[in-house]
């Protein structure tokens, strides 16, 4: 590892966003080679040990890839029942883990990364970042159905959290509806529309938190920009703040373990 600014080192170690790392350094909570450093752009050498609150942290080459998943691809690292899995769409993708899941028949955005800290925060089933879907549903969508989706509908595993819902287009036989969710349950979007009597025919995730699919074709991928990674880190810190308000929270799945069923939102 060549020399790098201390805040860059901390961010690569998964400590938090650069703003958070700036604050940690300014508060005197970071030491380099045993000495407290309060200058965020202090240069860290290859062999120097960095600690935060006395705990050693290590920077690594982190990778963040955005994939627009096509239909028929499983959003897992391995699946004996699927023809293809999502990590096969990206060069050297086997070293990465998908952040959450999409149904085999659902298209849309998935992030692949080896940043386990960020992935775990983004996947939290109750406090995860927002995900935006567009659903083509069968039949006409009534105002009462839209209101029910906005307020929360009763599913077999409980009432859903309120969703942001917008009717984009209505024809005689189908409708296009945009749905924004912040919780994650198995096949949640499809089950919500089933509950209000308008089954989903096609489903696409067009946004993952602050990241959209503009310019990224189905089946394509690209590396996330530094600004996009920073925006995801800031979003993940909101998850941490929400968890801090809980008396007892649910455990997060470690990166590399099988994702829980509640993390499969579509």
**Residue 265: its pLDDT value, please?**
56
Do 62-266 and 4-57 fall under one CATH topology? no
User: What is the Cβ-side half-sphere exposure of residue 254, based on CA atoms within 13 angstroms?
Assistant: 2
Q: Name residue 176's beta-bridge partners.
A: 136, 169
Give tens-digit pLDDT for 192-224: 999 999 999 999 999 999 999 999 999 999 999
| Mean pLDDT for the chain overall | 87
Does domain 4-57 fall into CATH 3.40.50.720? no
Phi, psi of 54 (to 5 degrees): 85, -10
Question: Does the annotation count 103 as an active-site position?
Answer: yes
Regions of the chain where pLDDT drops below 50: 247-263
Domain boundaries, the chain: 4-57, 62-266
**Residue 238: its pLDDT value, please?**
78
22, 79, 83, 103: which one is catalytic?
103
**Residue 252: its pLDDT value, please?**
38
Give tens-digit pLDDT for 137-180: 999 999 999 999 999 999 999 999 999 999 999 998 999 999 99
Could you tell me which of 130, 147, 260 has the C-alpha nearest to residue 205? 130
In 14-153, the DSSP E strands lie at 30-32, 35-36, 43-44, 50-52, 55-57, 64-69, 73-74, 84-85, 97-98, 107-113, 131-138
**Residue 264: its pLDDT value, please?**
53
Q: Indicate the CATH number for domain 62-266.
A: 3.30.2350.10
């Amino acid at each position: 590892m060549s020399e790098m600014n201390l805040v860059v080192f901390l961010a690569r170690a998964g400590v938090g966003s650069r703003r958070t790392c700036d604050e940690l350094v300014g508060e005197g909570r970071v030491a380099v080679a045993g000495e407290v450093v309060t200058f965020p752009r202090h240069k860290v050498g290859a062999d120097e040990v960095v600690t935060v609150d006395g705990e050693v942290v290590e920077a690594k080459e982190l990778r963040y890839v955005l994939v627009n998943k096509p239909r028929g691809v499983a959003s897992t690292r391995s699946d004996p029942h699927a023809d293809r899995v999502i990590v096969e769409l990206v060069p050297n993708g086997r070293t990465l883990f998908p952040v959450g899941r999409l149904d085999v028949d659902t298209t849309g955005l998935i992030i692949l990364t080896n940043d386990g800290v960020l992935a775990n925060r983004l996947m939290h089933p109750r406090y995860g970042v927002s995900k935006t879907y567009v659903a083509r549903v069968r039949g006409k969508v009534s105002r009462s159905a839209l209101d029910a989706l906005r307020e929360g509908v009763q599913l077999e595993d409980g009432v859903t959290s309120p969703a942001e819902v917008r009717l984009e287009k209505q024809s005689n036989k189908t409708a296009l509806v945009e749905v924004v969710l912040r919780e994650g349950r198995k096949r949640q979007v499809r089950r919500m529309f089933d509950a209000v009597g308008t089954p989903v025919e096609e489903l696409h995730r067009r946004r993952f938190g602050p990241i959209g699919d503009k310019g990224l074709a189905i089946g394509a991928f690209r590396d996330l920009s530094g600004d996009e990674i920073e925006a995801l880190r800031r979003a993940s810190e909101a998850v941490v703040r929400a968890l801090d308000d809980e008396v007892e929270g649910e455990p997060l799945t470690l990166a590399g373990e099988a994702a829980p069923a509640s993390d499969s939102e579509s």
